[in-house]
Amino acid sequence: MEPVFYREEWWNVLSRSYNYRYFRLGNNLIAFHVKSLFFGNRLISIPFSDYGATWTRGLCGEELGKLREASLKAGADCIELRVPGWNRNAIDILNKDGFRATALYKTFLLNINRDPRDLWVRFSKKVRNAIRKSERKGVRVVKVDSEYLLDRYYDIHVGGFREIGSPPHSRSFFKNMWSHMATKGLADIRLAKVDGEYIGGIILFVGDNWVSFWQNISLRSFRLLNAGYLLLWSVLQDYAGRYRVFDFGRTREGSGVYLFKRRWGGREKSIIHFTSCRGKTVCPPDPYQVKYIFLSKIWRKMPYSLVKKFGPHILSGIAL
Local confidence pLDDT in tens for the 320 residues of the chain: 889 999 999 999 999 999 999 988 876 688 999 998 888 899 998 999 999 877 666 677 778 888 888 888 888 989 999 999 998 888 988 898 889 999 999 999 999 999 999 999 999 999 999 999 999 999 999 999 999 999 999 999 999 999 888 899 999 999 999 999 999 999 999 999 999 999 999 999 999 999 999 999 999 999 999 999 999 999 999 999 999 999 999 999 999 999 999 999 999 999 999 999 886 655 666 666 656 676 778 778 888 888 889 999 999 999 98
CATH number for the domain harbouring residue 140: 3.40.630.30
- Distance separating alpha carbons of residues 31 and 19, to the nearest angstrom: 14
Q: Of 264, 288, 305, which residue constitutes the final position of a domain?
A: 264
**Beta strands at 210-218 and 197-206: parallel, antiparallel or unpaired:** antiparallel
Q: Are residues 80 and 23 in the same domain?
A: yes
pLDDT at 265: 94
**Beta strands at 210-218 and 245-247: parallel, antiparallel or unpaired:** parallel
Domain of 218 in residue numbering reads as 108-147+181-264
In a domain, 164, yes or no: no
In a domain, 279, yes or no: yes
Its pTM stands at 0.92
Angle at 164 between CA 159 and CA 127, to 5 degrees: 95
Q: Of 227, 245, 264, which residue constitutes the final position of a domain?
A: 264
In a domain, 118, yes or no: yes
At 141, the amino acid letter reads V
In a domain, 241, yes or no: yes
Contact 80, 275 (CB under 8 A): yes
Q: Are residues 112 and 259 in the same domain?
A: yes
In a domain, 154, yes or no: no
Q: Are residues 301 and 280 in the same domain?
A: yes
How far, in whole angstroms, is CA 120 from its chain's centroid?
Answer: 25
In a domain, 162, yes or no: no
Q: Are residues 116 and 251 in the same domain?
A: yes
Q: Are residues 191 and 281 in the same domain?
A: no
Q: Are residues 208 and 228 in the same domain?
A: yes
Q: Of 225, 240, 264, which residue constitutes the final position of a domain?
A: 264
Per-residue DSSP letters for 250-288?
Answer: -B-TTSHHHHHHHTT-PEEEEEEEEEEESSS--PPP-TT
pLDDT at 63: 81
Q: Are residues 288 and 300 in the same domain?
A: yes
C-alpha distances (whole Å) from 132 to each of 69, 103, 214, 284 are: 54, 36, 24, 40
Q: Are residues 101 and 245 in the same domain?
A: no
pLDDT at 56: 62
Q: Are residues 220 and 128 in the same domain?
A: yes
When divided into structural domains, the chain yields a total of 2
In a domain, 115, yes or no: yes
Q: Are residues 95 and 82 in the same domain?
A: yes
Q: Are residues 124 and 243 in the same domain?
A: yes
pLDDT at 39: 84
pLDDT at 289: 65
Radius of gyration of the chain (CA): 19
CATH number for the domain harbouring residue 47: 3.40.630
Q: Are residues 252 and 230 in the same domain?
A: yes
